[in-house]
Amino acid sequence: YSVDEVMYLTEAKQAADALAAKELLYLQGDANRDSGLQLPLPKLAGIEDSTFPVNKGHCQILWDEINECRLIKSALEQTVLQYANDVSARAHVEVMRMVKAGQREYVSEATFRYQSMLRGCFRTGYDCICPADRRASILHYGHPAEPNSELTPQGSMKLHDMGAEYHGYSADVTVSFPVNGVFTEGQKAVYEAVWAATLAVEMTIKPGVDYKDMHHLSHRVMLKKLKEAGLFVGKVDDMMDAGVMSFFMPHGLGHSLGLDVHDVGGYEPGKFRKDFPSVKENLRLGRKMLENMVFTVEPGFYFVDYLIEALVDDPKVSKFVNMDRLKQIWSEVGGVRIEDDVVCTATGCRVMTVVPRTVAEIEAVMAGQEWPVSSAGCRIYHGTGYDY
């Protein structure tokens, strides 16, 4: 990665003396906007605070500036991210076509990695997430404690969250689809609600739009669509006030994307997630959009056992839920997530992820229809909003 010079720690003082250094600056500032953790200052042999004092105020400025620089992607960075997305899209489509009932989930991971490696992406940006059935409600399924090892039942939904990495930059793409290639009525209702939320956000994004508002918009759209599908009853405004969606989407709408999958710059310098109590979920991106930011849009709707049990026990929330409809859909779905990688443009956004998204597209591709993948297939929106 274009390293100019490397030295041993024992040479640090000699190098500082040669530069006539008066103080030290480390790339270290306040707590990480995502984890809330703060790294300790490193100790360099031969350099004492009395000789080269550490200016913590200047370190904070450097920290903030580097994070803000990483937030905005150059044209070359966007080209690399587009390639990672194109490779990921091709791999996802191949996986969708080969999935069968009775397979172990890890076959999906193995196929994705193989298809990505064929195109020069030898790493994934994070552990592959390949659950089937009700396990699709486990947000980070696929790590060593849950290694994509279970059987895929007939008629179940699959959720695949996998992203190829290219030259340090990772895609982050999620697809959800029925194992047998055809959605049931309940699966279709949930999927189309999540897809409507995706469209609503992507068609609204443009510079100046606050992503916290997009998080709330995704909730509102899914509540409206699933009220129409018979799952919810009552006024959407009342459901928003009661926090109904916290029981069905226990994560944030998206995050910054780049050299880290959950990249830096999710909040403005000096701002933290805890500063915005209106957002109850773990929203990793909570700032106004800037041109050339790259981030994910990933609404989801899940039937998490312990959250459903908590909802049922809370009359302030359960009154909005049609319990008979809940039981029906719960058994068919598990969880649905749609995740696109998006770049904010001067007038709207460009969706880098080119995979089958509508119900008709998914069913056609799983039936054998060709699906061309190229940047020419990127969806482009102009911030005009979406009539949901």
The per-residue DSSP string of 50-74 comes to TTS-B-HHHHHHHHHHHHHHHHBPP
The confidence score (pLDDT) of residue 50 equals 64
Q: H-helix or E-strand containing 340?
A: strand 340-344
* H helical segments located in 3-55: 12-18
Which is nearest to 244 in space by CA: 254, 231, 253?
Answer: 231
The confidence score (pLDDT) of residue 242 equals 97
The confidence score (pLDDT) of residue 144 equals 82
Beta-strand ranges (E) seen in 91-183 are: 123-124, 157-162, 164-166, 169-170, 173-178
Q: Sorting pLDDT into bands at 50, 70 and 90, what band is 370?
A: very high
What is the Cα Rg of the chain in Å?
23
The span from the first CA to the last CA of the chain, in angstroms, equals: 45
Over 90: is that where the pLDDT of 41 sits?
A: no
Task: Please give the Cα distance from 335 to 110 (Å, whole number).
Answer: 22
254: which DSSP letter? -
Task: Please give the Cα distance from 370 to 55 (Å, whole number).
Answer: 58
Over 90: is that where the pLDDT of 28 sits?
A: no
More confident residue, 231 or 3: 231
**pLDDT tens-digit readout, 159-188:** 999 999 999 999 999 999 999 999 999 999
The confidence score (pLDDT) of residue 141 equals 93
The confidence score (pLDDT) of residue 331 equals 86
> Mind giving me the DSSP string for 171-237?
--EEEEEETTSS--HHHHHHHHHHHHHHHHHHHH--TT-BHHHHHHHHHHHHHHHHHHTTSB-S-HH
Token readout for 361 is 């597209």
Model pTM score:
0.94
More confident residue, 34 or 195: 195
Over 60: is that where the pLDDT of 85 sits?
A: yes
Q: Which amino acid type is present at position 334?
A: G
The confidence score (pLDDT) of residue 54 equals 85
Over 90: is that where the pLDDT of 25 sits?
A: no
The confidence score (pLDDT) of residue 48 equals 67
Over 90: is that where the pLDDT of 264 sits?
A: yes
The confidence score (pLDDT) of residue 33 equals 73
Task: Please give the Cα distance from 109 to 146 (Å, whole number).
Answer: 13
Over 60: is that where the pLDDT of 101 sits?
A: yes
> Is-contact 123 162, C-beta < 8 A?
no
